[in-house]
Amino acid sequence: MPTILIVDDTLFMRVAIGNMVKNWGFEVVGEAANGQEAVQLYEQLQPDIVTMDLTMPVMNGLDAVKKIIAKNPNAKIIMVTALGQPRIMVDAIENGAKDFITKPFTPEKLKSVLYQALNLVEDSSM
């Protein structure tokens, strides 16, 4: 069962993503409301994958990605961002994020991006 850390400053998004991934067999090992919490929880929990919001208080998602990747270059981080932030998304990928997804997104899109990052196969027809 893959483990996931969900990082978003809105409780609604953390709950929504958590409910989706639990249905796909993921274990939510932690949630963070800002990048600083994300870095601390990543170090403690060592999840298989992280969903990382971009715009958050205290420390933004891009800075959190840099800190996590500096400690673990193999970390799998998926950026979750609002529309209209393409330059920042490129920065995130260049700094080690594996992929990104734009809000609002469908459950199918989230699942596809997570499975791809973890090299999981969704079903036998793929």
Segments making up each domain of the chain, as ranges:
75-106
Residues paired with 103 in a beta bridge = 82
Select from 19, 23, 48, 44 the least CA-distant residue to 32: 44
pLDDT at residue 125 in the model: 36
Query: What mean pLDDT comes out for the span 21-46?
Result: 98
Confidence check: pLDDT of 124 > 90:
no
Nearest to 3 by CA among 126, 120, 121: 120
**Could you read off the pLDDT of 66-111 as tens digits, one per residue?**
999 999 999 999 999 886 677 888 899 999 999 999 888 999 999 9
CA 32 to chain centroid, in Å, comes to 11
Q: What is the mean pLDDT of the chain?
A: 92
For residue 8, the number of C-alpha atoms closer than 13 Å in the C-beta half-sphere is 18
Q: With a cut of 70, say whether residue 126 has pLDDT above it.
A: no
Q: Find tokens 């298989």 and name the residue.
A: 48
Q: Please list the residues that pair with 121 across neighbouring strands.
A: none
